Structures are given as structure tokens and as C-alpha cells.
A and B are shown apart, each in its own frame.
Chain A
Amino acid sequence: MEYVSPEGLRLDGRRPMEMRQIRAEIGAVSKADGSAVFEMGNTKVIAAVYGPREVQNRSQQLSDKALVRCEYNMANFSTGDRMRKPKGDRRSTEISLVIRQTLEECILTHLMPRSQIDIYVQVLQADGGTRSACINAATLALADAGIPMRDLVTSCSAGYLNSTPLLDLNYVEDSAGGPDVTVGILPKLDKVTLLQMDSKLPIDILENVIQLATEGCKAIANYIREILLENTKELEYRRGS
């Protein structure tokens, strides 16, 4: 299958190093302490954050830091075939864990001992790169909730098909079964907090692919910063009025 034409265009018309259109919106769930919708192309994810609040299950309380919990699920209508998927299957457990660990890394949990932060992430529409979109949405929601963080965490994936590194795979490209590298970074600290890969890659190519995904993360970080800045300005404006 040809995923990149000899003219250098992908199936959806992007060039290999281009990301899909991204869009973010803060405050989609008014009841939550913080929330955001994040879109990467046709992948659409909503995240809501509650906390810091009292630990519900006393036995889980940590005396030196906050307890971070994450629940991920996919809406039944998120893919074309409306199949009822059992809650808590292995894939969503794994992704919940990945999101929790990645975000825990940047939340300053030691500032909030004996408290709990809940992150809910739901995929509304899936078209590849859900993992990254979830992390990006959660970052925004955490920022919206005013939870102290070291830095933003942003994530983006990159793959390798037809001997070409490709940024931000969509569903069709993802289903090709090639290598798919998901990277999460702390952009200001320039640190990698997440690195996952399916399938195999020669080491020198892996470096290129990771580099590409990292560039993607940085671009997302810039966009998220803009959105946050705009949001803050709006809040200021509202308070002023």
C-alpha cells in the first residue's frame, strides 16, 4: 500500500512532516473544576478535572502528596461501527495508566498532600492519535483547573511508512501496522516523559522518528499556550467588566 505518493503527499493530502489541524476549547464542562476539548483532525477528545479535593477512599490517601487518578474511555459512538465495548478492557486500562503516569510527572503533587485529583478523559471521535489527544486535552483541563504544574505536557505521535517518517498518523495510517511512536514532552524543560512504540524500527530511524514527534509536541505546546493566554485574557476581561 502506498501511504506517501512519489509526489510526497499522504492519503489525506498532508506532507510527511505536517500535523493535522488542531483545535482546542477550554471550559466545556462547567461543573468540573477544569475541562477542555482537544481536536487533532477528526480525533476529538474531552477531558474534565476534579480536584484537588478530599480523598474519597481513605485507605488510598497519601500523606506526602496528592493522589492522581485517571479514567479513560471511548464513547460508543466514537468509531464508525457502534459496538458496545466493555468498560475497563485492557486497552483502556493501559491508556488510563499511561495518561496518569505522564501527567503525574508534571503535577506538583507534593504541594497538595492528602488530596485527590481526578482526571476524566473521553474520546468522542477516534481517528488515530487518541493517546496524544487525551494527554493534550488533560493538560489543558489541568491548567484550567488551576492545578500547580511544573510545565505543560504535550504529546504527539509519529510513524514510519513507505520508508518515510510521518508526523501525527491518522486512523488509516495507524492501521497500516507500521511502527507508531508516541512521545510526550515537557516543552519548557525539554524533557521526554512518555515514549511508546508499537512494532520495530532500526535504531537510527527511530531517532529520526522520535525527533519528528518531539517537533510535533513543541508545535502543540505553542498552540496550547496561545489558547491558555487567550483564555486568561478573556477571564481578566470578564472580571474587569
Chain B
Amino acid sequence: MLHNKSFVKKTKGGKVMKQVREHYLRDDIYCGAPSCTVCDSSGARLSSSASTILVVDTNVVLNQIDLLENSAIDDVVVLSIVLEEVKNKNMSVYNRLRAICSNSNRKFFVFSNEYHRDTYVKEMSGETKNDRNDRAIRVATQWYQKHLGGAVKVLLVTNDKENKRKASEEGICAETVESYVKSLDRPDLLDLLVRPSSEDAEMADVEDHRPSKRKVIYSEHKPMSEITSGLHRGIYHQGKLRVNRYNPFEAYVGSESIGDEIIIYGRSNMNRAFDGDIVAVELLPEDQWQGEKSLSIVGEEDEDEDEDVHLAPNSADDAPRTTPQQGSTGVINAGSSRPSGRIVGIIKRNWHSYCGSLEPMPMPGGSRGVAYALFVSKDRRFPKIRIQTRQLENLLDKRIMVSVDSWDRQSRYPSGHYVRTIGDIGDRDTESEVVLIENDINSRPFSAQVLACLPPLPWSVSSEDLSIPFRQDLRHLRVFSVDPPGCKDIDDALHCYALPNGNFEVGVHIADVTNFVFPGTPLDDEASQRGTSVYLVERRIDMLPKPLTEDVCSLRSDVERLAFSVIWVPSADYWEFIFSKKISTLAFCIWVHTHRFALALFMYVQEMTPEADIISTRYTKSVIKSAAALSYVEAQARMDDSRLMDPVTTDLRNMNSLAKKMRLRRIERGALTLASAEVKFQIDTETHDPLDIGMYQIREANQMVEEFMLAANVSVAQQILKSFPLCSLLRRHPTPTKEMLEPLLRVSAAIGLNLDVSSSKALADSLDLAVGGDPYFNKLIRILATRCMSQAVYFCSGDLSPPEYHHYGLATPLYTHFTSPIRRYADVIVHRLLAASIGISKLPSVFQDRLQLTSIADNLNYRHRNAQMAGRASVELHTLIYFRKRPTDTEARIVKIRSNGFFVFVPKYGIEGPVYLTTRAEKGSGEWYVDEQEQKIKKMDGSFSYSILQTVQIHMEVVEPQPNRPKLQLTLI
């Protein structure tokens, strides 16, 4: 087998060190053609009837990966040298190429030319690495032609002129990508081609008739050497560019060198950078730090900023960032000006494919030809992209994906190429897929390796599970769950016992997911990557495979399930309780003996009084059997029906009264009662169309469950942090800055409401006092307050100092997520930490690696955020579908005053959008003017005005101002 022809390959390392590597050349590497008589054809991938076999060079792969991904291109030989070069240049293209190669539907064969004794080439003296590799590709192509004989044409596809010339000289067939694709007579494939940038200038001429077009629009990017030295000398700053989701003309670069965010205003300062690019920024002179904003927007007015109706934001992260404007209320501006800058160079591009549609345009005369179109990304952070297409007709009403190829100084927009069509605009499935792609959500089915990690099904609690000493048998407890109706992934259940002395024992039982998901398994890796389940209106994308989420882990009623329990119990009674369970003293002693920690655990038990003081807590893995899986509505109905006296109902009432006390105490400590407008759809089970839409009603039962979950999370956070001060995963909610609360303060000042924002306690109190003329007023103020705050985030306790652990909204110094391990990976991590902290398992090795832990936390935040964005986008989509057939009149509240109208919030549907008093054309014509101080928009003659928070009647209707671009329009009645 082993062809032992060894030789020595010398490479100079960075340290100018001779490195000697063995390199074995073999004679058992096969060609991959099934018709070959010489080779072993068991691993053959090429088709047996192929008349042409393609060999692609590195640059073709790097530039034309979209083309290669198209199934029209097949019978391709990928040389190992090409793979290696691609891997060194662009990891993401490498992964895509590998995916094609391993796809059994495609006929791509990897030929390890570097290890084949006939195709390996040694570097010649004076030859560059590139030349050597090009030669290797030619040698391999030639070998294939000779090996397969005249029946098959082996074609080298290369765009490198020199390489092509040499190939022809050596008698190898070679063609450029363009000429090869043209020879296939498939015009749609031509759209996938990336055009070399030399063609760019010509394209611009054809496309744009404005004389301004030929001007240089953007300043030059500095060469890398200059950037490096600039970074070194501190005149440039490096960071990742993040574009404001709601205002694409504003971006931020988090810079470590100046320890602050640098704001970039306007496209010209952004200088062709995309969201996610690593850029070099130069600070602007300090006197230009303000006023830049208004300037830049005026300059780019042709890019229309027609605002759409959106779901009302739930936090500051969902809302446009507001930078303080000069001359409004006096609260702001004392030294709050932030550094602004402009981008001088791009260190690393983050270009990928974008979802969107073509800008509506008339069909050019003489169709069938090449047309130029502007692609508008659905995600507004990205600029429009110019593409060339031969199938304009087909694409105008489609959602498509487009990749960016280049962006030169003369073009306003980057140029790119069409990748694929997702479906019709407005079609629910298409739009849902767009939502998933846009938010980077993996909705593919779980792989076989992941599914192989599942326990054998059907699963049930075995005697083995029961015999594990640390797993306590709690099946005798009257445990039940309360969840939203139709909930199948039940991760929490409760029990509550009145003890003879008047105290209560309360337990929170959480699905024992870590009993099935082991660290380091494919299942664990997949869950860690997904981070969270995603809830769209019409479907759920699970973090864990369905058998786990809906059956094995789910704490369903009347079946035995494994749980991780947090139990609050009184000490003296606890011993009684243990013995009442008829655990024989002997057995119990043995248990304590074999598990020394258990003793310590029991000593640490205190009391929960009728006043709901949770004094101490016990944690144990357990087996439970839920007596009932109630919905919020059912639980509420039971509590409210005074005739019902059954045990579960009594437990519910006891718990509810405890929860109320706990809640009161929490609010006394300064927890905020925040509000958001959540909407609920009723979906037609067959067509999946929304039938009804309305506010999500929060009942006492919801609050009761939530209260105990909060308490469990807080208890667990304390427990894990005590054991693992450096590697616990916690959740914090940063205190909002004055600047963030500014919009709220401006509104409250205008309506004469006095809000004290000095602390969460003060804010909570003044929110309680905010009572206006109507019942909804208080809720509205709370909604406005909530959207000023940023969201809570996960972090690794070793990365921050304890004061920063604070959770502002809940007013608790420590918080984590423990109660939903079926649908959140953070909870899985916390379960492992808790199990280790009570000594029943070892801490997995990942916890020793703080960098990795931090990156896990970052990924969880990213996934969590994306899941929320996707959920919101899905609601927006269904709102649009719902109103398509149902124009409606409803009540709305003004939440923001604009120069040409105002933004209204529609409480009933949870949406927010602009109402225009003047049309765009007459903007600034002077009929209306804005009084910033009073937050009013007034008619010039003083006859009429609208003020903030005012109730207005509006008409909601879906209109199509441009074909295939439906949008929801709000107008005053």
C-alpha cells in the first residue's frame, strides 16, 4: 500500500528557520472517473458519460464560487493544491467549496495532486510559489488528459492570461470562465459571473446618464502599509464597523485605541465600508464632531428614506439611535459630544450574500439583452448593489440573493452579481425564508451525527435513572406546569406544599436537559451554535431535535421525567419530610456517606415563610411526575373559580399569594415594571394565514410563574458564582445612560410629567405616579421607558467586575438563565455549572478556557438578538398579510414628532409608523412647523396642532406604491 518514496521539502519559516517535512508520494490516488479502467473506481464522483471534465484554478474558485454552486456546473476536478490555496486566502469560500465536494448530488471530485507521484512538481529555482502552483495545476490537467485518453476533453478553466498561454503551449485545452459559460448557452448562468473590475468603468457609462456619475465620489483607500504605520502612530484607529440598523447613514466603530465608539456619519465618510468590515478610521477635527449629521443627510437625499411601518420597538436596541440634537431640552449636551471620524481604509472585508429585491424599474427596450439593475437589500444597513442581469423580467417580482464583487471610487454603489432566487415577493414562505437568512438562523434539519446522540426512543425513566444516588425521587410530589396554550416544550414545573408550621415548601423543577446533552458531542456543538430556539409566528426552529424538546425533556403531565429542581424548604421540617418519605435511616446514611456533599447540602437549608422570604435553597437532580400541564388561561380560571377546592387549585392559590408578595418585595427593591406591546396572532391551521391579531393578554398566572422563575434564576446565579467566581455565565442589564433616556425625558418634559431617572428605584416610583387622563397612559409611558433601555446580555463572570454584574431592570445584583434549557443554550451551560457546584458532576473542560467561554457568551448574545429580530420580522410579515385583506380604522397615539408629520403607535396591533401631514414633495413648504419644546407640530396659522401622546384616529391599509412592493400605510381620518 505504502509507496515509500520519500523526499524532503524545505520551507523557510517566519523565523528564517529551515523546516524539513516529509512528503510521501503515492501511486494509489485515483482519478475519480467511473469509466477509468486503471483506477479503483469505488470512490469515483465524476459522471460516467461526461464529455468534458473541468479543472478549475484557484482564482476561478475564489471569484466564481456562486457559479460553481449552481448545479449546471458539474464534472469538476478540484485539485488539492487549489483547495490549499483557497483555504489560505478565504476560509468561507473554502467551506463552500468543500460543501459542494461532499454533496452527493454534485459531481465534484477532489484529486490530491500534491501526493500523486506523477503530478507532484518540485519548485524550480527562481520560480515563485504562484508560478509553481500554476504549473502544478497544468501538470495535473495534462495528466488527466493523458490518463483518460481522447474520449474525454479535459478543460482547464482559468482567467489568468499567462497561465492560459502556457497551457496552450503545452497542448492543454484552456478557456476563461466567461467563454466557457457562454459556450453552455445558458444566459441565466452568466448572471452568476463575477466581472473583473476592469469592466466596471464601461458598465458605469452604460448605466448612468447623470454627468455627476463620472466624478470620483469616494476618497481613496490608503494602502495597507500606510494603514499599518498610521495605526502604529495612533493617527488611525482600527475596529469593526457597525451600521445603524435604522439609519444606514450612521455607523459606529468600537475602537480599543481610544476606548470609545467613533461615529461615522454619511456614506462619504463611510467610504465604501460595509457593516462588519474591519476598518481603519481617522478622527475628524473636533469642531466637526457635530452638525455633520444634518449635512450628510441633505447630501444624500436622493436615496429615499421612506420610512415603513414597523413593529413597535421593545428596547433601545430595536429603536433608532438618537443622537442628542442641539437646542432641545437643556438636559443633554454637556460634554456628551462623541468623536466622529471617517474611514481611510478597509482592513478586512465582510462581504457576503444579501437578501433583497431589485429596485422597480421599467423594462429596457430590446429585452433578452443585458440589463443593469439596482438591488436593494432588505436589511437597510447595506447599500444598494448594482448588478447585471439577462433575466430582468423574471427577477423584478422576486426575492433574490446578491453578492458584492467590488466597489470603486467612481461608483456610488458597489457592483455585484445575482446568486439565486428565493421566491416571489410577499409570498409568506419566501419572506419567512428571507427572515431566516437575514438573521443567520440555521433552519436545516439536524444532521445524522446530531440525531445519533439522542437516547433510544421511546424513552422512559429507567430503574437505572432512579438508582443514581444524587437523583432524588420526587414522583410523590404534586408537581404541575403552567405555560402558554399549546406549549409542547415544557421546561419548567412547580410544586408548593403548605407545611404544618404554616410555612411553604416551594420547588421549581426544570427539565434535566444536560442528562441527555453531553459536552463535546455533536448534539452539544449544534445546540451551542444555534444558541436558542427561534419562534416565528407560524413555526418554531428548535435548538434541540424534536424528540428531546417535545418528549424526552418536556415535563409533560402524567409521565415521569428527569428534572433539575430548586427547592426552597424550611430546615426543621425538612428532616421530617425526608423521613416521612420512608427512606430508611440506613439507606439514607449510606447515601450521605457515599456523597459527602449531600450532607453539606442539607445543612444549608433554611426557611421560606408565609411572607415569601426565600431564605435558602436546595438543589437536586430529581425524577418528577407532573400532575397537570395547565395553560395560563386554565390556571387563571381555576384560581378565579371559588367553588374549586381541589389540591392543584389550592396549590395554585398559595403560590399566587406567595408570588404576589415576592413581586411586591422585588418592586420595593426597585425592579421596574416594564411594558412592551406584544401581539398575538391566531393562525389558520391550514393556510397558515393570520386570522386574528390582538394584544397578548398578561394574566396573574403568567406573572406567578414568571416570579418563581426569576427567583430560581437569582438563586442559581448566587450558587454558581459562589462556586465558580471566574467562569460563571450570568446575565446583566446595564443601567441606561442619561443619553439613552433622553427621548423619554423630552416627552415627559413636554407633557409636564416629572420623571426621576437617578436610579431604577426612583424611576420605578415615578413611573408608578405617572397617571394621565386615560387608563392607557401609564402603560404608554412604560412602553416609552422600556424602549429607551438596552437589552440584558450574557457574560462570563471573569470578564467583568462584580458591580457590573448588576441587572438594572430586575434590580438584582446577580441574574442568570436556568429555567429554559430546552430552548436556550445559556441555561444548558448554567445547568452544568450548577451540577458541578453541588458536586454531582465535574465541570467540563471548556470552563477552564475563559476566552472560549467569552466567545460562547458572545455567540449566545448574537443568536439571542437574531432570534428576537427574526421573531419581530415574522410578526411584521404576518401583520402585513393580515391587513392586506382588511383595511382598518383604529386608535393610535403619537409617539414622535417629525417635521412633516409624526410617528404613531397603534396599541392594538403593536405597530408603529409614520403619518405624513404633508407629502414628500412639499416637505418644508412651511405649512407646518415643529415646536421642539412642547413636542408639538403646529399649523403655521396656529389653527391646528398635534401634540405628543395625543390620541388620533387612523386608517390602516396595505398599498402598493410600486408594483410588488406592498406596504402598510397609516393615514389620518
Contact = CB atoms under 8 A, between A and B. Distances in A.
Given A7-B80, A18-B1, A81-B17, A41 B112 contact: no
A9 B112 contact: yes
B22 A12 contact: yes
Contact of A18 (B2, B18, B101, B114): B2
Contact of A7 (B13, B20, B24, B110): B110
A144 interface: no
Interface string B1-26: 11010101000010101111111111
Contacts of B1: 15, 18
Contacts of A81: 15, 17
B98 interface: yes
A20 B112 contact: no
Interface string A1-26: 00001110101111100111100000
B6 A41 contact: yes
B102 A7 contact: no
A41 B22 contact: yes
A11 B87 CA distance: 14
Interface residues on chain B, size class? 20 to 34
Contacts of A14: 2, 24
Contact of A6 (B6, B18, B24, B102): B102
Contacts of A13: 23-26, 112, 114-115
A109 interface: no
Contacts of B23: 12-13
B2 A127 contact: no
A9 B6 contact: no
A106 to B, nearest CB: 28
A135 B102 CA distance: 42
A164 interface: no
Contact of B112 (A5, A42, A170): A5
Interface in A1-60: 5-7, 9, 11-15, 18-21, 41-42
Contacts of A86: none
Interface in B77-120: 80, 98, 101-102, 110, 112, 114-115
Nearest to B115: A13
Contacts of A6: 98, 101-102, 110
Contact of A172 (B15, B21, B102, B112): B21
Contacts of A18: 1-2, 24
A80 interface: yes
Contacts of A21: 4, 6, 22, 24
A150 to B, nearest CB: 31
Contacts of B102: 6
A80 B20 CA distance: 9
A145 to B, nearest CB: 30
A147 B22 CA distance: 35
A173 to B, nearest CB: 11
Contacts of B25: 13
Contacts of B101: 6
Interface string A105-125: 000000000000000000000
A212 B4 CA distance: 20
A190 B484 CA distance: 65
A15 B29 CA distance: 11
Contact of A12 (B18, B19, B24, B112): B24
A14 B26 CA distance: 8
Contact of B80 (A5, A15, A80): A5
Interface string A160-196: 0000000000101000000000000000000000000
A95 B110 CA distance: 42
Nearest to B9: A12
A109 B398 CA distance: 85
Interface in B13-56: 13, 15, 17-26
Given A6-B101, A7-B80, A80 B112 contact: no
Interface in B599-614: none
A42 B24 CA distance: 12
Interface string B755-777: 00000000000000000000000
A172 B19 CA distance: 11
Contacts of B98: 6
A79 to B, nearest CB: 10
A210 to B, nearest CB: 21
B96 to A, nearest CB: 14
B189 to A, nearest CB: 27
A42 B20 contact: yes
A172 to B, nearest CB: 7
Nearest to B4: A21
A173 B13 CA distance: 17
Nearest to B845: A200
A170 B23 CA distance: 11
Nearest to B449: A163
Contacts of B110: 5-7
A15 B80 CA distance: 15
Interface string B388-431: 00000000000000000000000000000000000000000000
Contacts of B17: 80-81
Contact of B19 (A7, A9, A19, A80): A80
A222 to B, nearest CB: 14
Contacts of B6: 20-21, 41
B18 A170 contact: no
Contacts of A20: 6, 22
A18 B25 CA distance: 13
B22 A7 contact: no
A41 B21 CA distance: 9
Contacts of B26: 13
A21 B5 CA distance: 9
Contacts of A170: 22
B410 to A, nearest CB: 41
B112 A7 contact: yes
A103 B149 CA distance: 57
A81 B15 CA distance: 9
Given A13-B26, A18-B2, A127 B20 contact: yes
The list of the 9 closest CB pairs from A to B, nearest first, reads A13-B24, A13-B115, A21-B4, A12-B22, A80-B17, A41-B22, A18-B2, A21-B6, A7-B112
27 contacts: A5-B80, A6-B98, A7-B80, A9-B80, A12-B23, A13-B23, A13-B26, A13-B112, A13-B114, A18-B1, A18-B2, A19-B2, A20-B22, A21-B22, A21-B24, A41-B6, A41-B22, A42-B20, A42-B21, A42-B22, A80-B17, A80-B18, A80-B20, A81-B15, A127-B20, A127-B22, A170-B22
Interface of B: 1-2, 4, 6, 8, 13, 15, 17-26, 80, 98, 101-102, 110, 112, 114-115
Interface of A: 5-7, 9, 11-15, 18-21, 41-42, 80-81, 127, 170, 172
Given A13-B25, A21-B4, A172-B21, 4 more contacts: A5-B112, A12-B24, A41-B6, A81-B15
